[in-house]
Amino acid sequence: MILEVKNVTMKFGGVTAIDNLSFNIKTNEIFGLIGPNGAGKTTIFNIITGNYTQTEGAVNFVHEPISGVKPNVIVEKGIARTFQNIRLFKSMTVIDNVLIGFHNSAKYTFLESILRLPRYFSNEKRLKIAAMEILDRFGIAEFANNKATALSYGNQRKVEIARALATEPKLLLLDEPAAGMNPNETQDLSNIIRNIKEEYGLTVLLIEHDMKFVNNMCDKVLVLDYGEEIFEGKPSDAIVDEKVIAAYLGDFTHA
């Protein structure tokens, strides 16, 4: 198991956002975290990435506890994420946004960068080549020198995922990656995620509301409702489960 969430509870004052939740993710798996709005999905992402520390329970990454670890250290350990609302550096180009993800790979000191010593230039050249290779895999290399926010919504999503990939993660967390995309863009993104998963040996945990996308992508899903697990298993079984249907559409048995 690459990720183990054990009996996690998250309370905000008197509100329980996550209630005694446990699940495991296998290495090289694509695992979907789904459920209605307000089910607690993004809260789980924030716990895994160190933005929140759970009230109770434990989270292990590659068998090592990561609860209470700072977000920047979580990234260094091999967990990267994207966000529900795209977060790009608006004044920067596409390639510069991706280069930020390589900050842990830079093999020069701050002084060498200030003085523009030879090792700085050789490393910058190496990282730019690596960034262009990632952009090429996402089909957006032609936009490398464009302002990131000048791209279409779908391509901005790709830039954000490319930047996360540049941190060289073992586990990639994607928060609604297909949101706002048309069917062609969604299919293209599906292919890209599958390709980079295999090429980079990634494990992927994603939040998504597009059930066609989830069914096509995920090996396994966990369905949350009001912070509690109501289903875990194959996506094809989730969409016919009575509790899942009731969570999304309401319980018609008492209508």
Q: What is the pLDDT of residue 103?
A: 72
CA–CA distances in Å: residue 219 to residues 11, 33, 138, 164, 202: 30, 11, 22, 22, 14
Q: Which helix (H) or strand (E) holds 155?
A: helix 153-165
3-class DSSP state of 8: strand
User: pTM for this structure?
Assistant: 0.88
Angle at the Cα of 74 from the Cα atoms of 72 and 75, rounded to 5 degrees: 65
Average pLDDT over residues 156-163: 94
* pLDDT, tens digit, 9 for 90 and up, residues 63-77: 999 999 999 999 999
Q: How confident is the model at residue 254 (pLDDT cuts 50, 70, 90)?
A: very low
**What is the crossing angle of helices 153-165 and 118-137, to 10°?**
130
Q: What is the pLDDT of residue 180?
A: 83
* pLDDT, tens digit, 9 for 90 and up, residues 7-66: 999 999 999 999 999 999 999 999 999 999 889 999 999 999 999 999 999 999 999 999
* pLDDT, tens digit, 9 for 90 and up, residues 197-212: 999 999 999 999 888 8
Give all domains of the chain, ordered by start, each with its CATH number: 1-69+205-255 (3.40.50.300)
